Amino acid sequence: MQKRTLLQSVLALALAAGISGAAVAQDKEIKIGVTAGPHGQIMEQVKKIAEKDGLKIKVIEFSDYIQPNAALQSGELDANSYQHKPYLDAQIKDRGYKFVVAADTVNFPIGIYSKKIKKIEELKEGARFGLPNDPTNGGRVLLLLQANGLVKLKEGAGLKATPLDVIENPKKLRFVELDAAQLPRSLDDLDAAAINTNFAISAGLNPKSDAIVVENAKNPYVNILVIREADKNQPWVAKLVKAYHSEEIRKFVDTQFKGAVMPGF
């Protein structure tokens, strides 16, 4: 009888420990990196929805495109939400990150802005044109310029095109490569610049009314939620995706950004 009682006590303690461990795991705060602007605003809404499902989220804002991946790699973050697949692929190739895509998020058609002209055709010979200095966004802008007849790229340049791939430049545009976050602040010193929508909105620019050219919404640059490969089967990932892909988030994006940002899920 004493042995049976002792065994029952041990099992009860083990069960209690298991429940306690599960509770601790459930209470873990998930840290998600975003860039300031729409990504941050959307994730704050996701945070509210996920909390109803028992998932606690801490949103951490960054001002550039490099640090959120570095922080995810180092373990400072559990996930990030700010980049598209071509950018992630380039980062994985260059830095060896073991990351995977957890879900698609939203789409930000990139736009060309100017304080000096109203139409892209008005760019003068030798105009200074700003474009993001990261490989995928820079190539994205060059493809947009090619689609509008301003440059021609060498065959096969594709999404990773750089100014070195420009084989025809009738207006002799002078390309000024800057960090994507700096482009809105540099607009006064440039004749035109291509600015990612999240940074444009943060700078008070409306892609629908202020951009002189906007990228076609049907493109390979839908943004993504990224996690470490080792975490892909963690229960919190499914809860995070469920919250992000909710009808509440879809409505928030449509209402808040009025077409400048579009749900990609």
The confidence score (pLDDT) of residue 159 equals 84
Helix (H) or strand (E) holding 62: strand 56-62
Paired strand residues for 213: 112
Evaluate whether residue 18 is within a structural domain: no
Q: Does 84 share its domain with 141?
A: no
Half-sphere exposure of 7 (CA within 13 A, CB side): 4
Q: Does 96 share its domain with 181?
A: no
Q: Does 148 share its domain with 98?
A: no
Q: Does 190 share its domain with 102?
A: no
Residue of 208, 215, 216, 230 whose CA lies nearest to 100: 230
The confidence score (pLDDT) of residue 112 equals 98
Q: Does 43 share its domain with 77?
A: yes
Q: Does 93 share its domain with 123?
A: no
User: 177, 196, 214: which is the final residue of a domain?
Assistant: 214
Evaluate whether residue 39 is within a structural domain: yes
177 contacts 196 by C-beta, under 8 angstroms: no
Evaluate whether residue 53 is within a structural domain: yes
> Helix H segments across the chain?
2-27, 38-52, 67-74, 85-95, 135-147, 197-202, 207-210, 235-244, 247-257
The confidence score (pLDDT) of residue 175 equals 98
Residue of 1, 15, 91, 26 whose CA lies nearest to 239: 26
Evaluate whether residue 2 is within a structural domain: no
The confidence score (pLDDT) of residue 14 equals 43
Q: Does 155 share its domain with 90?
A: no
Q: Does 142 share its domain with 48?
A: no
User: If DSSP codes are grouped into helix, strand and coil, which group holds residue 116?
Assistant: coil
Evaluate whether residue 201 is within a structural domain: yes
- How many domains in the chain? 2
Evaluate whether residue 91 is within a structural domain: yes
The confidence score (pLDDT) of residue 238 equals 98
User: 214, 235, 253: which is the final residue of a domain?
Assistant: 214
What are 165's two structure tokens? 């791939």
Q: Does 124 share its domain with 249?
A: no
DSSP state of 245: T
Evaluate whether residue 6 is within a structural domain: no
Q: Does 93 share its domain with 166?
A: no
CA distance 260 to 253: 9
What's the domain range around 55? 28-108+221-263
10-residue averages of pLDDT along the chain (265 residues)? 45 43 60 96 98 98 96 98 94 96 93 97 97 90 96 92 96 97 96 93 90 85 96 98 98 91 91
The confidence score (pLDDT) of residue 158 equals 86
Q: Does 181 share its domain with 51?
A: no
CA distance 177 to 193: 10
Q: Which CATH number is 94's domain given?
A: 3.40.190.10
What are 172's two structure tokens? 């002799």
Evaluate whether residue 135 is within a structural domain: yes
Q: Does 207 share its domain with 116?
A: yes
User: What are the two backbone dihedrals, phi and then psi, of residue 91, each rounded to the nearest 5 degrees?
Assistant: -65, -40
Instruction: Compute CA distances 100 → 33, 42, 169, 209, 227, whole Å.
Output: 15, 21, 38, 35, 6
